[in-house]
A and B are shown apart, each in its own frame.
Chain A
Amino acid sequence: MSAVTTTAAVTVESVSKRFRVYHERNQSLKAAIMRGRRSVYEDFWALRDVGFEIPQATTFGLVGDNGSGKSTLLKCIAGILWPDSGTVSSQGRMAALLEVGSGFHPELSGRDNVYLNGSILGMTRKEIDRKFDGIVDFSGVEEFIDQPVKNYSSGMYVRLGFSVAINVDPEILLVDEVLAVGDAAFQEKCAEKFTQFRREGRTVVVVSHSMPSLRAMCDQVAWLEHGRLVDTGEARPILERYLDSTRRDIRPGPNGSIRWGSGEAEIDGVEVLQDGRPVDAIHSGDAVTIRISYTAHEPVATPVFGLALDTPDGVHLWGSNTRDVSRVIDSIAGSGTVDCTIPTAALQPGAFEITAAITDSSTTHVIDFVRGSARLNVVVGRAGDSDGVVALDGRWQ
Chain B
Amino acid sequence: MDLVITLLADLRRSPELLANLTRREVKGKYKRTLLGQLWSLANPIALMIIYTAVFSVIIRVRAEPGDPSGLDVFAVWLMCGLLAWSFFTNVVTSGMGALVANENLIKKVYFPRITLVAASSLAALFTWAIEMAVLAVVLLVIGADLWLWIPGVLAMMALLALFSMGVAMILSIANVHFRDTQHLMSIVFQAWFYLSPVLYPVSLVKEHSDSFGQVLGFTTLIDIYRLNPMERFIEVFRNLLYDNRMPELDSLLYCVGWTAVALVLGGWVFARNQKKLAEAL
Contact = CB atoms under 8 A, between A and B. Distances in A.
Given A29-B180, A80-B110, A102 B105 contact: yes
A14 to B, nearest CB: 18
B107 A107 contact: no
Chain A interface, DSSP helix/strand/loop, else mixed: loop
Nearest to A19: B279
Given A98-B108, A124-B16, A81 B279 contact: yes
B101 to A, nearest CB: 11
Contact of B278 (A75, A105, A115): A75
A80 B180 contact: no
Nearest to A27: B179
A119 interface: yes
Given A102-B104, A108-B31, A96 B110 contact: yes
A119 B21 CA distance: 9
B28 A105 contact: yes
A108 B24 contact: yes
B208 interface: no
A148 B27 contact: no
A125 B20 CA distance: 9
B105 A148 contact: no
A30 B181 CA distance: 11
B110 A79 contact: yes
A171 B184 CA distance: 46
B12 interface: no
Contacts of B17: 119-120, 122
A210 interface: no
Given A80-B107, A121-B109, A107 B31 contact: yes
A191 interface: no
Nearest to B178: A29
A103 B105 contact: yes
A115 B108 contact: no
B66 to A, nearest CB: 43
A354 to B, nearest CB: 45
B24 A116 contact: yes
Interface string A94-138: 001011001101011000100110011110110000000000000
A98 B279 CA distance: 15
Contacts of B28: 105, 107-108
Chain B interface, DSSP helix/strand/loop, else mixed: helix
A28 interface: yes
A102 B24 contact: no
B20 A102 contact: no
A96 B23 contact: no
A19 B279 CA distance: 8
Contacts of A19: 279
Interface string A73-103: 0010011111000000000000010110011
A115 B180 contact: no
A26 B179 CA distance: 10
B31 A148 contact: yes
Contacts of B102: 103
Interface string A1-35: 00000000000000000010000001111101000
Given A99-B108, A108-B28, A125-B16, A82 B275 contact: yes
B178 A27 contact: yes
A96 B27 contact: no
B111 interface: yes
A102 B102 CA distance: 9
Interface in B161-184: 177-180, 184
A27 B109 contact: no
Contacts of A148: 31
B276 interface: yes
Nearest to A82: B275
A215 B102 CA distance: 36
Contacts of A108: 24, 27-28, 31
B167 to A, nearest CB: 19
B31 A28 contact: no
A80 B278 contact: yes
Most buried by A among B16, B108, B276: B108
Given A28-B178, A82-B275, A102 B108 contact: yes
A103 B109 contact: yes
Interface in B84-133: 102, 104-111
A196 B176 CA distance: 41
A28 B275 contact: no
Nearest to A118: B20
Interface string B1-24: 000000000000010110111011
B32 interface: yes
A286 to B, nearest CB: 56
B32 to A, nearest CB: 7
Given A98-B108, A108-B24, 6 more contacts: A108-B28, A112-B23, A116-B20, A120-B17, A120-B109, A125-B16
Interface of A: 19, 26-30, 32, 75, 78-82, 96, 98-99, 102-103, 105, 107-108, 112, 115-116, 119-122, 124-125, 148
21 contacts: A26-B178, A30-B180, A75-B278, A78-B109, A80-B109, A80-B110, A82-B275, A98-B108, A99-B108, A102-B108, A103-B104, A103-B105, A105-B24, A108-B31, A119-B14, A119-B16, A119-B20, A120-B21, A120-B111, A122-B111, A124-B16
Nearest first, the 9 A-B pairs at minimum CB distance are A79-B110, A107-B31, A82-B275, A99-B108, A119-B17, A102-B108, A119-B20, A29-B180, A103-B105
